[in-house]
Amino acid sequence: MSENVERTRQGFEAFNRGDMEAVTEFLHPDVEVYASEDVGESGTYRGRDGFLQWNRVWMDAWDEFRVELEEIEEIDGENVLVHVTQSGLGRESGLEVSQRVTYLFTVRDGYAARLHIYGRREDALAAIGS
């Protein structure tokens, strides 16, 4: 397992245990965070503070939220796709929701310089020109 894959896996483990400090330490200070329209809370955010702002808005919508890592796919020396199922219990609606998504991480020098979320693997690959 490459260092980029291992660092990415550790980031998801930290998120699931609520350790946002460890998550943000994995992110480059100028990280680009993007969520496509088909995954919710879409838009682009910059930097660690942008990530935390985006995450806070996202998490405020849920009473419960979890991310189940299904597969990590190393595309090349810096791009890693992470296929997950996100599940949660809506705070307002009380509905349980589950969605498969693909995270694209571009890891440089041990830090995620890009964190994008797509509803389809093909869209993530298109973002890196593969």
List of residues 6+ apart from 35 with CB closer than 8 A: 41, 42, 43, 54, 116, 117
DSSP 119: S
Architecture of domain 3-127: Roll (3.10)
Question: Which residues are paired to 71 by β-bridges?
Answer: 83
**How many Å apart are CA 10 and CA 20, to the nearest integer?**
12
Q: What is the pLDDT of residue 42?
A: 81
Q: What is the pLDDT of residue 39?
A: 85
Q: What is the pLDDT of residue 28?
A: 97
Other CB atoms within 10 A of residue 117 CB: 24
- The residue extents of the domains of the chain are 3-127
Q: What is the pLDDT along the chain (130 residues), one digit of tens a residue?
A: 799 999 999 999 999 999 999 999 999 999 999 999 988 778 899 999 999 999 999 889 999 999 999 999 999 999 999 999 999 999 999 999 999 999 999 999 999 999 999 999 999 999 998 6
